[in-house]
Chains A and B, each alone.
Chain A
Amino acid sequence: MNEFLPYFILVPLLGFVVNLTLPRKREAVIFWSAITTVSLHALCLLVFTISWLGNGAPDIHGEGPVLYQTRDNEFSLNFFFDRNTAVYFWVSSVLTFLVMIFSRYYMHREPGFKRFFNNVLFFYTGLSCIVFSGNLETLFIGWEIIGITSFFLIAFYRDRYLPVRNALKVVSIYRVADVFLLLGIWICHHQFGQSLSFVTWKQMFSDGVPLISEEPYRVIVPLIFLVVALVKSAQLPFSSWLPRAMEGPTTSSAIFYGSLSVHIGVFLLLRTYPLWGDILAIKILIVGFGAATALVATVIARVQSAIKSQLAYSSVAQIGLMFAEVALGWHTLALVHFAGNAFLRTYQLLVSPSVLSYLIHDQFFNFIPPQHNIRDNFAGRLKLAVYTLSIREWNLDRIMYRLLWQPLKTAGNMLEFIHLKNVLYFFLPLYAACLYFVFHRDELPVDILHNLPVGLALVSVLLILKAFVKRNEAPNAWFLVVMSQLFTAMAIAFNEQFDMFQIFMYLSGIVISTGIGYWVFSRLARAGEAITLDRFHGHSYEHPGLTRLFMLASLGMAGFPITPTFIGEDLILGHVQEHQFGLTLLISLGLILDGLAVFRIYARLFLGPHEKGYHEVAYRSS
């Protein structure tokens, strides 16, 4: 049966590719193509599940193609099917199927009709990739796909300010999870000595063999995956992104942020259970996080006066309970809880516009003015304090801002000394020198050679930081991004025995992206458009073609799995030895910032309210 597993990813992927080619205005064609894909997928799943049950519901492992292989490195796609896969995918299939039908008329005549269905299909592909993945690498591909579609679904109304701002906000938090996941994979590689599949994890766990025996990695690895799960499932302290993600059409908020997307964290915990299922401290920690989230999110939900954010926090609270259930080993309960919560919240979100007439009508006949018996004593004051705090969402949004954005901005702004000029006069010659020494290592003193990787990675981070806060010309920021990538590659080149092919793989996507990027800038400049980064320009209104092109370039530059750069990223980390914490940290930071800087350039130039006032443009606050 295992040979069928790859098709569960191929079918939606194929459907997505087909949908890309369809004409924009043919709603019926777009819809039927999309719904056929999902139905076909569900049908395959049905047949598969029946025979799987007939066989006594065994764990099924499938080997996919090997994408890259060297002596000590292998990047292969693996698939896996077990009870978790079955439940997660049944719920996802049914929900996606229903919501697509719902959307057919709901989205009618929306200018983004095709964009919506494409994104749903791509999301579905990503989800299949995660749920059917048999090793961490495959899971990571799906993870990235979901991250990127989330950006597009949140910024679906790309001509307004808030959706774009919030999309950037959410994606920057997501990016943290992505890189933590990458770190997790890196450590696992070093610990396992190879890429282990989930089926082996499970096997070893049930045999009582610890997957990672070396301290402190035994604890660090689960902690890393825990952070990833906390982010993706909007658990404390990351919860505030969820209500802000509900910017798109109600249908997409319902299915993704009401159900499928936020429950992925629970799935990750279920998958990584063999890594930490025998460590009591980790279990207590997860129960703690889950319980704390459940409590705080419930209190926040109680004071929400906007229906969608109320639902968001209610859902988060239940997911907190699921975290605890997984940690306590009650996996069946967690799966049932997941299914129930996903359906309930999707439904509640879909019909959320009805609450206005329903509750007003209810109030008309049953209204009793709420009594506030808040006394002027300690308990009363405590109550008011919790109320105030909950209105402020326990300051979670502010904390995220202070923790994530503020330091980067401050750091970037401190780099006043980096100008285009000294990049040209200093960093370029430096790079040239490095290029020379890479082939003539023996000419360098050992001390320098030893510290060079960290130094170069630091330069890379500085450059990307600068790109991140740059407010003037976009091409300059783009140049900094490229330079930063080149320095990262150089750092790796000095770190280990040089493998030209791997560096080439890493840089291939970047070179193409760089070119496309500059071509787009020059086209915009020739059309007399502003290409500064101090505000949103909204060029997608007049230049939809360039927008799409630049989006592809950005994806390539950010190491998204459309170019070999993506595999390169994995390989590059593979070259960092496990004791090199400094280097790992810098490279990870570089990767996070690289994505953010690139998305920022894309958003500032092409998204947001169009700056020309000859047509309808929404007010900034709306």
Chain B
Amino acid sequence: MKNNTENFDLDAVIHELKHYLPSQTPLKDFIHHNSLHAFQHLPFYEAIFTSSAIFGHQATFNLNEYRKLYEIGRIRHEILEQAVLARKGPHDAKSWMEKALRSTQSSYTEPGIGRLRQYWKEIYRLDIDNIVQPLLFRVLCSYLDQGVAIWHFPFVDEGLIPGLRHVEKNGFTSFFKTRRARNLLFDESVTVESLLALVVGDEKLYEQYLFDQQFSHRGWAGMVSAVEDRPDTLLYPKKIALKELIFFELLLEIDAAEDELGPGWKPLAHMRPIKPVDLFAKLPLTEWHEVLMIWQDAFELNYYDEVLSALKIVRETDREEGSAPKSFQGIFCIDERECSIRRHIESVDPNCETLGAPGFFGVEFFFHPANGKFYEKLCPAPVTPKFLIREKESGGKRGHEILHSKRSHTILQGFAASLSLGVWAAFRLFRDIFSPTMGPAISDAFAHMNLSSELVIESNGETENGLQVGFTVTEMADRVENLLRGIGLSTRFAPIVYVVAHGSSSANNPHHGAHDCGACSGRPGSVNARVLAFMANNTRVRAELASRGLIIPDETQFLGALHDTASDEIAFYDEKGLNPANAASHVQNRKSFEEALNLNSKERSRRFASINTKSDIRKVREAIRRRSVSYFEPRPELGHGTNALCFVGHRNLTKGLFLDRRAFMNSYDYRTDPDGKLLLGVMRPLPPVCGGINLEYYFSRIDNQKLGAGTKLPHNVMGLIGVSNSNDGDLRPGLPLQMIEVHDPVRLLVLVEHYPEVVLKTVKSEQSLYEWFSNEWVHLVAIHPDENRYFRFSEGEFFEYKPMKGDIRLASDIHNLIESAEEMETNHILHATLENLPIHIIKK
């Protein structure tokens, strides 16, 4: 809010608005991002408290909740002391301890947003939102609708306002109740400013009014803004601008006032002297804020300390890699859900090695499925690829779900449908409840690309819509080299290197994209895995790589695979290309994968009420699969819930630890990169991808109502672009309750295995990367590679941190641990946090 005193500049205000509105795009693609991205230039606490004061959401737990977490031991006493000490120094420690534990009271102030428009009620006793919003949302949803309605909004290629003018010209009926509003619409000389003059009447208040207005329905305003910026996020293109939404809404407000108050009503500022409020004024931090900061620090440190203590203990014992030949290697996504499957496969076959890399495996492209009318982006969201991978033959077609047919909504066909399909619906209801099976209406990770489909991966110079179809040999070699060197896999290749992507199947889940691979723009990464395997197997690529000093032995073959994180199933691509020796060992390896998936199912099942973890492992596995195709299961899997750590280093660091699926794990070998040249490339995507996921979970967990989507159960699909609770309700961006209830809101801790000075130099070398750490949106620890010492980043420097917890639990039998774990009593944080198991050291 910089324009209070100067002249009102609409474009500048709209620019500001767009900056603060939620940026979630239509739900078909789900890209995790920091929910408070608009405040990211500020230090974390200042940002969350400022945003909270403006928009009224929770920024942390409340004092009572922290104090109870302390009482139940979730925040240990010495950790709280440490947190107080770190912020207040030894001199004031005692009094701040007292404040934290007892004396400070929770305080709450009314949010700044919405105060100006409150005058509608105070002056005119008019509930303007109640009158305007239902119709406004209806028109917006009809305009942007992708295919729910049978009869579409006409004239969508002209823009909302020109389209409305066309529709209004019919002369019989109108969206408006009064002639005045309608005439204003037709008058092309009318601008947003002139409408504001009619409604508000004082230029100094315009900006505040627009913020109030658009944030009274942040869901729809954000969606319009996102579609305006990225029209390609819709398959059925719609032209719309936030300015048009504002224009239309102002017209509806004038219409409502004219209708309710009669002609002659005056702008708000003409009725009463109103002083503008600076919404974004700097927030003075109070004692209450500081105590909350201490508590949240302590809540996080309690976990971090446990992790570092466990690392310290494990590293005291020698955990060097054995020299036995590797049976196979598996490159998995860094995703924290793959953390457990890697542990299990290593336990099933101790001679295998697993590695982690971002799940697009360094190959960025658009994918054009056979017969598809569009492209899909398969790489991290900020990247814009220049390549196209085309599917020649899909080898399978998705069926049709007759019960979703829109024909049942018309009068005569609906009559026929009720009579005929009614019986079928009854049968299906039985079947889908008692014996759920995969069907066309369920999103199936394996359907993204069929097993038998053929891809065009190598370029022959063809281009399509400005994209190069396939990659040249050099381009392929670049990508393979980057990936392999980045994860430290440049020697000691096993005969088979599995490239395991992941995706997720689920039924009845509008948020299914949020369960897929974040590094693939919220889609399964199967195509990427296959493409990378193809590249690394290509003989000319290998020759080129050899010339660069990266020698892949001839007998080594790469094989793409897809792991379904919901159903715990795996599929392998191009198995026929394996040589006879590898084909034989692949048969063995498949068994290992299956065994590991059994164990993984069992580990996951401990959080699911519908499954008895102690029952036969085959039954557990089957129950896990059924969840992924059950319409009645709002938790097919738990997504990224509980994510907290991000390791950048060798797998040996974490191999001895039970991390309860809470760690992103990116392989990296400091020995192959002594001066940190590769490290920047490895670290660059981590804060936006993993940090984005982590922060979206943080905010959706801390305030599931205002920053999350609330419970899934009443959700109503709006125009195939979003969900709302009610027919008259606003869109609900953010994550639904069922995804976040297991999550402990701690910021991401990135742990890098390298010398502190190298890590420091690396993060400081790029401002956009450094901001994440310097503003404390993500925490950073350097693990000294030679000594058993740990350095924590704070205010531009690394300080040594001495882990405090001596008694890390030992687990000799993971299964016992899993079976004895208890489910949460309720999803309140006091109960939910107890479901997350402490770190255990796995006894060999």
A contacts, CB < 8 Å to B: 25, 27, 94, 98, 101-111, 156-157, 160, 162-163, 166, 243-244, 246-251, 253, 294-295, 298, 301-311, 313-314, 317-318, 321, 336-337, 339-344, 346-348, 350-367, 369-370, 372, 374, 380-392, 397, 612-622
Contact = CB atoms under 8 A, between A and B. Distances in A.
Contacts of A107: 713
Given A337-B419, A354-B441, 19 more contacts: A109-B827, A304-B149, A306-B141, A307-B148, A318-B414, A318-B418, A343-B426, A344-B408, A344-B421, A344-B425, A356-B717, A357-B509, A358-B440, A367-B373, A381-B172, A391-B175, A621-B730, A622-B725, A622-B729
A249 B725 CA distance: 9
B236 A354 contact: no
A343 B427 CA distance: 9
A303 B149 contact: yes
30 contacts: A98-B429, A103-B632, A109-B827, A156-B714, A157-B711, A298-B410, A302-B149, A304-B148, A305-B138, A305-B719, A306-B148, A310-B148, A310-B409, A314-B409, A343-B423, A347-B429, A350-B632, A352-B717, A354-B441, A354-B507, A356-B510, A360-B146, A364-B235, A391-B138, A392-B175, A614-B106, A616-B58, A618-B710, A621-B729, A622-B730
B146 A617 contact: no
B123 interface: no
B145 interface: yes
Given A301-B409, A372-B152, A249 B727 contact: no
A288 to B, nearest CB: 16
A619 B135 CA distance: 18
Nearest to B440: A358
Interface in B543-597: none
B442 interface: yes
* Interface pairs A-B: 7 shortest CB-CB: A340-B422, A385-B172, A384-B170, A305-B145, A249-B713, A347-B425, A618-B705
Interface in B397-419: 398, 401, 403-404, 408-411, 414-415, 417-419
A246 B727 contact: yes
A362 B442 CA distance: 12
Contacts of B173: 385-386, 388-389, 392
Interface stretch (B214-222, B301-309, B757-765): B214-222
Contact of A340 (B419, B512, B712, B719): B419
A389 B138 CA distance: 12
A616 B704 contact: yes
B508 A353 contact: yes
Contacts of A367: 235-236, 373-374
Interface string B313-327: 000000000000000
A615 B58 contact: yes
B3 interface: no
Nearest to B730: A621
A612 B107 CA distance: 10
Contacts of B632: 101-106, 350
B508 A359 contact: no
A382 B170 contact: yes
A361 to B, nearest CB: 7
A347 B401 CA distance: 12
A307 B722 CA distance: 11
A247 B442 CA distance: 24
Given A354-B404, A358-B441, A363-B235, A27 B372 contact: no
A354 B507 CA distance: 7
B491 interface: no
Contact of B415 (A106, A321, A374): A321
B147 interface: yes
B825 A25 contact: yes
A27 B152 CA distance: 44
A118 B710 CA distance: 23
Contacts of B410: 298, 301-302
Given A351-B403, A619-B218, A622-B729, A109 B826 contact: yes
A326 B440 CA distance: 37
B539 interface: no
B716 interface: yes
Contacts of A620: 129, 216
A387 B169 CA distance: 12
Contacts of A98: 429-430, 433
Contacts of A27: 609
Contacts of B428: 347
A622 B709 CA distance: 9
B714 A249 contact: yes
B720 A356 contact: yes
Contacts of B168: 388
Contact of B717 (A110, A244, A321, A353): A353
Interface string B118-161: 00000000000100011100110110111111111111000000
A381 to B, nearest CB: 4
A389 B175 CA distance: 8
Contact of A302 (B58, B62, B409, B704): B409
Contact of B148 (A336, A350, A355, A612): A355
B724 interface: yes
Contacts of A366: 373
B720 A616 contact: no
B631 A351 contact: yes
A256 B395 CA distance: 43
B28 interface: yes
Most chain B beta-carbon neighbours within 10 Å: one of A307, A380, A621: A621
B373 A314 contact: no
B422 A106 contact: no
B249 interface: no
Given A348-B425, A359-B720, A391 B139 contact: yes
B633 interface: yes
B630 interface: yes
B633 A359 contact: no
A306 B423 CA distance: 26
Nearest to A253: B714
Contacts of B138: 305, 391-392
Contacts of B429: 98, 343, 346-347, 350
B373 A162 contact: no
B461 interface: no
Nearest to A359: B147
Query: Which residue of B129, B145, B218, B409 has the most chain A CB atoms within 10 A of its CB atom?
Result: B409
Contacts of A385: 170-173
A313 B110 CA distance: 40
Nearest to B177: A398
Given A294-B411, A356-B717, A105 B441 contact: no
